[in-house]
Structure 1
Amino acid sequence: MTGGRARWAAMLGVAAAVSALLAATGWLAPASPRYQDPAAQDPGACTILQAENERDGAPTTLRLLSLPGGATKRLTQAGYWINAMGYSAAQDVVYGVADGTRGGRYDHGSHAVRIDASGTVADLGIVGRAGSPRPAWSQVTGATAGAIAGNRWYVRQDSDLYTVDVDPASADYVRVVHRTALRPVSLAVGVDDFAYDPSSGLLYGVSTTSRGDSSVVTLDPATGKVAVVPGLRFPPGGAYGSVVLGPEAIYATANRDGRRSVTYRVPRDGSGPAVEVSTGPTLVSGDAAGCFAEATPPPPSTTVSETPTSSPPIPPNTPPSETPPPNSATPAPTPSATPVPVPVREPPPPSRPPPVEQPVAVAATPAPTPPPVATPTPRAVELPPPPSRRHVQPTPTPEPVVEGTAVKTQEKRRWGLTALILVLGGGAAAGHVRRHR
């Protein structure tokens, strides 16, 4: 089952009351549906999107119908008149044909619309012929039946089966790429909706013509052949505008059965008659898309298995617990255990080897050695030898000594000059005294 189908089914869980009803039907476990045992699920359970038109023209009411329980939930009221819907599992969207809006019918035929899981409707423009950049008219105007297989959207209009390309990357996106004539016409024109069966490649619908008599029929997209499936019949009445294939049954909604619309279930193996599933207001037209099966149990089992696998990130924290054993062997490296995380952060690969790198780092790289005490010793040993040779001249200490001796030399010179002057003066005075004597 695809993730897209799971998202469509998950919309039913928004409303608590609907969830309770689904739990009662066995589609969801009342306690924790995400972790429900797949074996406890109903293998025939699925959810479909229904388009209901109670009058001629817009708006169309979009509803979600849970099968086989029959619980419904109103999704939104679209501003378009929608029919011929098909579900693309790859894109997780529903494509439909819109013949008009609240303002009336389109003047150039039908438009293609895209409906996402939230019920938002986007107008994609005219469904024209492939290769026509500006189509003037839509070939699928008035179509009533639609189904999608891969990137091919099969749409029945009258007795023709049109193939529309719904590959967003294609140049012919939402353009008619092929037309197949359906034969016999007496069976084909009474099919108001069909569903694609991937196992056989056929389309299954209900023909309400006099020849079909509400029998299940198959349509071959390759040849256009329409054939009755023996033993599979719905109650006679009006048009069956909604048809979907469940895992074990075919579900079809009669637009008008008395004063109501009725959804019936018929086993695909013909083991039982048609059983009424749900009822609603009478419809002018209607359609249905998909059978979005509940796919939540498988993902949770993987997520649960991922939680233990997510525990391995915790074992990397165990290496710190492994580092104490080497420290227990040598009590001295215990203080060095604090600087160890710093080198571990810088080189992520050696997260475990830091204790081993400590002795090697002393001789190899000075960067890890500064934290240990061993790093200053090699620097101290390397520095003394060069200064021992140049100690007298380049040492910064003699510089202040030179400055002091210069000052003292100047003072000595001044004192020497003074002494000389005194000596000369004294000698002159003595000579003068002698002369006078």
Structure 2
Amino acid sequence: MRVRRTGRVLAAAAVLAVSLPGTPAAAAPAPACTVLRVVSTSPAGPSTVELVRLPSGAVESRIPLGVEVNALGYARSQDKVYGLTRDGAAVTVGRDGELTRLGPVRTTDRRGLDRATAGAVFGNRWYVQRGDDLYVIDIDPGSDGYLSAVRGADLWPAPFTSGIDDFDFAGGRLYGVTSTWPFSERVVRIDPVSGFTHPVPGP
């Protein structure tokens, strides 16, 4: 999932699928994919889901959800996008924009997951950031721990973590972009076990 801010528009996106044409690599065009983008026109306003075709950027459809959704992550094996409402309730969003409310995520503390900003799915684990806390949520529908936070970590050090609005999972690590001065626009790498966060070398 990626979060982009343009003016007063807040957007979060999850890649739904990648389709590769069955032609030789030398003749194949750039891979195309569909992105489910959730857009809110105000910080606490209801979201609208858009299906966007990449690389063209064409918006195929727009469907109002009636509630704000953030911290998106695409569960490939389930072909569903998981997200959180502003009050911390879990939802799924389908390709047709249908929103299904799943209820609150069970956590071991009282803080809950309201106002979570970042999310990414790897396998049957949904990584969610709320402030400087990283939660790992079981999203295996056949598990007794479904929709419970199975593990968590404190993100540190603070200069690199407080401005991360989104991240994605790659190579066993989470990668995001921090907006905290003086490290604005730096890509950071997060260890999902220890919570240690540090900038990736290079611009």
TM-score tier, shorter chain, comes to: 0.7 to 0.9
Deviates more, 1:210-219 or 1:67-76: 67-76
Partner of 2:7: none
CA contact (8 A) 1:187 1:211 kept: no
Q: How does 1:141-180 map to 2 (within 5 A)?
A: 141-180=114-153
Equivalent of 2:201 in 214, 226, 230:
230
Which secondary structure does the structure 2 equivalent of 1:227 belong to?
Answer: strand
Provide runs of 4+ in structure 1 moved above 3 Å.
40-45
Partner of 1:85: 72
Q: Which amino acid aligns with 2:198?
A: A
Partner of 1:374: none
Partner of 2:38: 51
TM superposition shift of 1:226: 0.9
Q: Which amino acid aligns with 1:205?
A: G
Partner of 1:94: 81
CA contact (8 A) 1:204 1:218 kept: yes
Computed over aligned residues only, the root mean square deviation of the Cα atoms, in angstroms, reads 2.2
TM superposition shift of 1:66: 2.8
Partner of 2:94: 116
- Give the structure with the larger helix fraction: 1
CA contact (8 A) 1:84 1:144 kept: yes
Which secondary structure does the structure 2 equivalent of 1:231 belong to?
Answer: coil
How far does the alpha carbon of each residue in 1:358-393 deviate from its partner, in whole angstroms, 9 at most, with x for none? xxxxxxxxxxxxxxxxxxxxxxxxxxxxxxxxxxxx
- Give the structure with the larger strand fraction: 2
CA contact (8 A) 1:110 1:140 kept: yes
CA distance in 1 between partners of 2:55 and 2:160 (Å): 28
How far does the alpha carbon of each residue in 1:264-320 deviate from its partner, in whole angstroms, 9 at most, with x for none? xxxxxxxxxxxxxxxxxxxxxxxxxxxxxxxxxxxxxxxxxxxxxxxxxxxxxxxxx
Partner of 1:61: 48
Which secondary structure does the structure 2 equivalent of 1:213 belong to?
Answer: coil
Q: How does 1:422-433 map to 2 (within 5 A)?
A: none
CA distance in 2 between partners of 1:60 and 1:38 (Å): 40
CA contact (8 A) 2:175 2:190 kept: yes
CA distance in 2 between partners of 1:170 and 1:164 (Å): 11
Q: How does 1:5-44 map to 2 (within 5 A)?
A: 5=17, 37-39=23-25, 40-43=27-30
Which secondary structure does the structure 1 equivalent of 2:102 belong to?
Answer: strand
Which secondary structure does the structure 2 equivalent of 1:186 belong to?
Answer: helix
CA contact (8 A) 1:190 1:212 kept: no
CA contact (8 A) 1:195 1:203 kept: yes
CA distance in 2 between partners of 1:204 and 1:43 (Å): 24
Which secondary structure does the structure 1 equivalent of 2:201 belong to?
Answer: strand
Counterpart check, 1:205 vs 2:176: yes
Which secondary structure does the structure 1 equivalent of 2:160 belong to?
Answer: helix
TM superposition shift of 1:43: 4.2
| Identical aligned residues as a percent | 37
Partner of 2:155: 182
TM superposition shift of 1:79: 1.6
Q: How does 1:287-366 map to 2 (within 5 A)?
A: none
Q: CA distance change for structure 1 residues 78 and 223 in 2, over 3 Å: closer, same or farther?
A: same
CA distance in 1 between partners of 2:121 and 2:158 (Å): 22
Equivalent of 1:191 in 154, 164, 168:
164
CA distance in 2 between partners of 1:59 and 1:129 (Å): 25
CA distance in 2 between partners of 1:87 and 1:166 (Å): 11
CA distance in 2 between partners of 1:42 and 1:161 (Å): 38
TM superposition shift of 1:69: 2.7
Larger Rg: 1
Instruction: Structure 1 unaligned segments of length 5 or more: list them.
Output: 10-26, 28-34, 100-108, 233-437
How far does the alpha carbon of each residue in 1:202-222 deviate from its partner, in whole angstroms, 9 at most, with x for none? 111110101321111111101
Q: TM-score, normalised by structure 2?
A: 0.83
Which secondary structure does the structure 2 equivalent of 1:221 belong to?
Answer: coil
Which secondary structure does the structure 1 equivalent of 2:17 belong to?
Answer: helix
CA contact (8 A) 1:60 1:80 kept: yes
Which secondary structure does the structure 1 equivalent of 2:68 belong to?
Answer: strand
